[in-house]
Structure 1
Amino acid sequence: MKIKFITTFLAIIPGILIAQSSDPNIEVNMESPAYGINIKTNFAWQNGIWARGYRISNHNNSEYFIHFGAMGTFNNGISKQNYGYIGKDWNQTYMVFLPNGNIGIGTMDPQDKLAVKGKIRAEEIKVTTSAADWPDYVFKADYNLRSLAETELFINEHGHLPEVPKAEEAEADGVSLGEMNKILLKKIEEMTLQLIQLNHAVKIQTEQVKLQSEKIKLLESR
């Protein structure tokens, strides 16, 4: 009998609470809910401390639309400024998803599709490029290859290789992996051609020395 009474009581209570108002909005600890279900309260945490555990809407001009949190230890949700954020305290957001599709890790204002402030570890990174930009043109007959003397003169004047950014530029603007790989490959190909030229020159000099040595021996034998 007691169980039956409790069950009936619990079934009637929601109807009584809803019947008290014709307003379709439901409020919890609020004076006048504006939309759907509104909850404005804190949740008890350990040692009697109160903390936000969940909230919806931008009540009181809050920037959050959906929020999950507990004493600032966790801070995840969606706000009017972005499509999502993941953090560990109230003063620092560790990851954001902006409406323009940009994702930031360690930064709140990513200017690229993926911006990371910190170190990245990966097993493989693939950078796409076009065939026209790949430095195979260095091996074409009409390519103007710098001589070693010209390269030496440039280094003495500027303190770095031609087309390679200076240290100050790299520090200020960063380095594009795709672009830098093409520059380095181009320098390797240029040095390869210079070594081939030097090898040809050494072969010619070796033949000349050999001929001169044979002439000297012939003269000495007379």
Structure 2
Amino acid sequence: MTKYYGTRCHAEGCRKDRAGFSRFCDRHRREVVLQGEVGQRRIRVPELSPYVQLVERRLAAGRHSPEIQDLVKSFHRRWCDLVSEAERYIDCVEKEIPTWDHPTIRRSQGAPLYREFELRSYQHILRMERVETDWTRFLVETAAMIIFREFEPHRFVTDRSFFVQLATRVGRMRRRVVFEDGPRAGQLVYMSRIAVKEKHFIGQQLSACFGPLGLHLANIELMGLEDEDDSRRILSEGLAALR
């Protein structure tokens, strides 16, 4: 366990006492758990909505374009690959097959076979896949968050806070879901109850899966390209990069 010296909260300008073994006081610890970093404000729906509409408008404009359809299919394959990876990881854990090598402890000395936060993160990704009937919501909202970050980078304190906000927005459940097994069986799943380390991991996976679309759409908007042929050309370049 990491030992932090001193009794003051480590947040800049805060003179309150640390809470327990945390580096921060109660207020800043809660801020880190929910938002990812001290000083990070939650991304609200009205802030993200214009970018969601932008992505939906761009995809709708190209729904009859073979290039755009191929691009969407490529992202669907990437999502299916992520779900398959989650299933493979969980299967390895159940069969006690090692999924990682501890940097300092040897297997013969009792090193863990897997990382607990990765297991819980992959379990949540599978719950997302089971609950959400339309996978394109993940595509649209992840791309919208990427564009939002390109246009308003000051809204994110660090990379970690961006990934946490991404997981919080995209990984939310639209209807009530319960844990199906384990000690928390029968309890409702809320994104706020998931550890910040797990949200960070889920955000990284979503960004790697769907992020290229957001980056290409951001380039289109930043360059002010309104011509449909230019927009298709840039998206086609994105498709070529994914192959």
TM-score of the superposed pair, with normalisation by structure 1: 0.23
- The higher-RCO structure (CA 8 Å, 6+ apart) is 2
Structure with higher strand content: 1
TM-score relative to the length of structure 2 = 0.22
From the two aligned structures, give the one with the greater helix fraction: 2
- Structure with higher Rg: it is 1
